Amino acid sequence: MYMALRDHSLDDKITSAAMEEFSEKGYMGASLRKIAQKSGATVGAIQTRYRSKDELFASLLKPFLDDIEAVFQNVRADYYSDIGGNILELLRASMQYESQTILRLIFDHYSEAVLLLYRSGGSSLEHYFDMLVENKIKESVMFFNNAGYSGVDEKMLGLLISMQFDSYRRIVMGCSDRAAAEKYMQSLMTYHLGGWVALFDSISEKNKQGDMRNEI
């Protein structure tokens, strides 16, 4: 008995058709039948490669997600490599690195970024971006506590980080020109850094007042 050999010539056609279908209709509106028609494959041929529509969708985004995870691992390492240094200078350098690298990732994987941020509703990756934000907030709280800033308002911290990440999201849809996006990102990071400076000034002032009360 002979088993049918898998036709690998269909692999790229399927992924190309899937990217087109998901980009046009989003995860919820996309159809395996339409993807099969566009690729010249059968639905069965797709299902021998991917167990579900969700698995096919996730496979398109995997290289992008792997790169995102690598970036944030580097950011985490930078966070804790110089915890005794100047907190604002460390924050400034971290934000600069993170924003530049995220921007590069967005434009290196522009179609995938649009899928993740605006076409993933109903898929297992629907809340991936929100998860990144939540992880960033938790890591930042731990970092600032370890750095001696135990008075950081966690809700305010969450708002600042959420606003910063929302900037990334808006750039994806609002600016497809790389040079213009870099200009906007730099302006946004300057704006966000001002918020961080104000937050730390407030904490420092509260700590001074607390020290004065203790001396009295």
Domains held by the chain: number: 2
Q: 107 and 44, same structural domain?
A: no
The pTM assigned to this predicted structure is 0.81
Q: In this structure, is residue 42 part of a structural domain? A: yes
Q: Indicate if the pLDDT at residue 43 is higher than 90.
A: yes
Q: Indicate if the pLDDT at residue 4 is higher than 70.
A: no
Q: Indicate if the pLDDT at residue 125 is higher than 80.
A: yes
Q: 104 and 176, same structural domain?
A: yes
Q: 89 and 151, same structural domain?
A: yes
Q: 26 and 88, same structural domain?
A: no
Q: 71 and 44, same structural domain?
A: no
Q: Tally Cβ neighbours within 10 Å of residue 53.
A: 21
Q: Indicate if the pLDDT at residue 9 is higher than 50.
A: yes
Contact 203, 152 (CB under 8 A): yes
Band (pLDDT 50/70/90 cuts) for residue 116 is: very high
Q: In this structure, is residue 77 part of a structural domain? A: yes
Contact 164, 191 (CB under 8 A): no
Q: Indicate if the pLDDT at residue 27 is higher than 80.
A: yes
Q: 82 and 9, same structural domain?
A: no
Close Cβ partners of 26 (under 8 Å, ≥ 6 residues apart):
118, 119, 120, 121, 122
Which tokens is 187 given?
A: 């302006």
Counting residues of the chain whose pLDDT is more than 90, the rounded percentage is 38
Classified as helix, coil or strand, 9 is helix
Q: 99 and 6, same structural domain?
A: no
Q: 202 and 181, same structural domain?
A: yes
| Per-residue pLDDT reduced to its tens digit, 133-144 | 998 888 888 877
Among 24-38, 112-126, 133-147, the least confident range: 133-147
Please tell me the distance from the alpha carbon of residue 57 to that of residue 120, in angstroms, as a whole number: 8
Contact 37, 55 (CB under 8 A): no
State mean pLDDT over 73-78.
70
Q: Give the pLDDT of residue 201.
A: 74
Q: 107 and 33, same structural domain?
A: no
- Which burial class, exposed, middle or buried, applies to 205 when counting CB atoms under 10 A from its CB (0-12, 13-18, 19+)? exposed
